């Protein structure tokens, strides 16, 4: 009888800044925050995300703005929502704004407020699983379009929002199927914005590439025997040789991050996920591509050679924001599926002066940061959707 062992070590840090005074908000801003809270209260955490309730809420909001909205199911029970605002010249390559509906699990006992209550404290912090990762940007997209339509803006390029399932578990039944579909090709997408990360400084972070994931199961096989016996070649003994080699390699990579010689996104991170003992299971190996369908590296240029980048950068600055030096994301997002199709994509979540709390306990977003993000997206969306044909 052979055995399989996998192990896990998770360290979570929480950040609790002191509450501050919340500035007086307009009735419109209070309504925007209330819609954000409603979305956060829908339990879309794995392992059983309520996609149906989330889809119903998002479709209703999109249609209330006057946008075309529909749900597509590439896999039964996992709706992908496609929301569209046709441009005055729909023949031009379009703008796609992507966000995932699902979120990671939460441990209520480790939170100061229930993780699905979306409580807003006296300091303006909205606590909820998904507040940063990444339900905020879905609502910000919709609110930005609501404001632009109300102001009479008409985009030259069509603007689409894709709200997808399963990003937190790899995206195979969500963005991956979408990017390979006829429905996606029909959108004629020219540029994509997807999620980014919070920034503890006053600069917004922007990501031009993701790291390539490689997930595998290490199966350790050993001689069977009674637990009271001393014998060589047991499964755990054999596994430990592998674990020790992984630990040494991980330490060599981590040392470079600690010394400051490399950023976290510039090294190879190795993190065991879980340990399990039992009968053999199939060995699973998933390795992401590093080049797109035209043989180019999966990285979006962030210089003057890319007109999308130039317009994006100027729009962020025009909104009153600052941009940090572009980075490679230390993890992965759905943007990688778009880049694999040869489409430029940036990861961007306008959350400055905010602790990074994705997947952490007590995840929160300040109401003022959420509202600022709407204004940033108004500038970004209007600028990108107005990019002249001759510029691309």
Flag the least confident range among 259-273, 305-319, 357-371: 259-273
Neighbours of 72 (CB within 10 A): 16
What contacts 358, CB < 8 A, 6 or more positions away?
132, 133, 134, 197, 198
Q: What is the pLDDT of residues 203-258, one digit of tens each?
A: 999 999 998 777 777 888 888 766 676 778 888 888 888 888 888 998 999 899 89
Q: Active-site positions?
A: 102, 167
What's the first-to-final CA gap in the chain, in angstroms?
61
E strands, the chain, where?
Answer: 68-75, 78-85, 94-100, 119-120, 125-127, 159-164, 189-194, 206-210, 214-216, 285-287, 327-329, 345-348, 364-366
- Reported confidence tier of residue 266, pLDDT bands at 50, 70, 90: confident
Q: What is the pLDDT of residue 295?
A: 78
pLDDT of 377 reads 98
Estimate to the nearest angstrom the gap between the alpha carbon of 48 and the chain centroid: 19
CB atoms within 10 A of CB 221: 14
Answer CATH for 27-213+288-391 from 1.20.1630.10, 3.40.1390.20, 3.40.630.10, 3.30.390.30? 3.40.630.10
The number of beta carbons lying within 10 Å of the beta carbon of residue 129 is 28
Phi, psi of 307 (to 5 degrees): -60, -30
What pLDDT, on the 0 to 100 scale, is given for residue 287? Answer: 67
DSSP classification of residue 103: B
Three-class DSSP labels, 209-258: EECCCEEECCCCCCCCCCCCCCCCCCHHHHHHHHHHHHHHHHHHHHHHHH
Where do the structural domains in the chain lie, given as residue ranges? 27-213+288-391, 214-285
């Amino acid at each position: 009888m052979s055995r399989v062992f996998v192990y896990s070590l998770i360290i979570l840090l929480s950040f609790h800044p002191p509450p501050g005074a919340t500035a007086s908000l307009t009735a419109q801003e209070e309504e925007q925050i209330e819609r954000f809270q409603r979305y956060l209260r829908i339990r879309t955490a794995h392992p059983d995300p309520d996609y149906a309730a989330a889809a119903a809420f998002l479709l209703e909001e999109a249609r209330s703005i006057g946008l075309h909205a529909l749900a597509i199911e590439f896999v039964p029970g996992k709706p992908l929502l496609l929301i569209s605002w046709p441009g005055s010249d729909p023949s031009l390559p379009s703008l796609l704004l992507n966000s995932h509906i699902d979120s990671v699990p939460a441990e209520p006992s480790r939170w100061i407020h229930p993780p699905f209550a979306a409580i807003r404290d006296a300091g303006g912090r909205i606590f909820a699983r998904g507040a940063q990762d990444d339900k905020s940007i879905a609502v910000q997209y919709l609110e930005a379009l609501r404001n632009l339509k109300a102001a009479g803006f008409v985009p030259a390029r069509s603007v689409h929002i894709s709200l997808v399932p399963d990003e937190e578990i790899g995206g195979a039944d969500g963005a991956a199927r979408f990017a390979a579909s006829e429905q996606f090709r029909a959108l004629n997408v020219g540029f994509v914005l997807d999620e980014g990360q919070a920034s503890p400084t006053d600069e917004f972070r922007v990501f031009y590439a993701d790291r390539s994931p490689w997930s595998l199961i290490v199966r350790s096989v050993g001689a069977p025997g009674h637990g009271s016996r001393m014998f060589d070649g047991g499964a755990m003994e054999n596994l430990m040789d592998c674990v020790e080699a992984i630990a040494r390699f991980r330490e060599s990579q981590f040392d470079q991050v600690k010394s400051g010689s490399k950023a976290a996104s510039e090294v190879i991170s190795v993190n065991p996920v879980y340990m399990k003992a039992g009968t053999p299971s199939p060995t699973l190996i998933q390795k992401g591509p590093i080049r797109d369908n035209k043989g180019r590296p999966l990285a979006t240029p962030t210089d003057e050679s890319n007109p999308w980048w130039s317009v994006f950068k100027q729009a962020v600055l025009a909104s009153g924001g600052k941009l940090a030096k572009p980075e490679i994301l230390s993890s992965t997002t759905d943007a990688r599926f778009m880049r694999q199709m040869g489409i430029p994509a940036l990861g961007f979540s306008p959350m400055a002066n905010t602790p990074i709390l994705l997947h952490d306990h007590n995840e929160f977003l300040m109401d003022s940061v959420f509202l600022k993000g709407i204004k940033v997206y108004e500038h970004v969306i209007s600028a990108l959707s107005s990019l002249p044909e001759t510029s691309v």
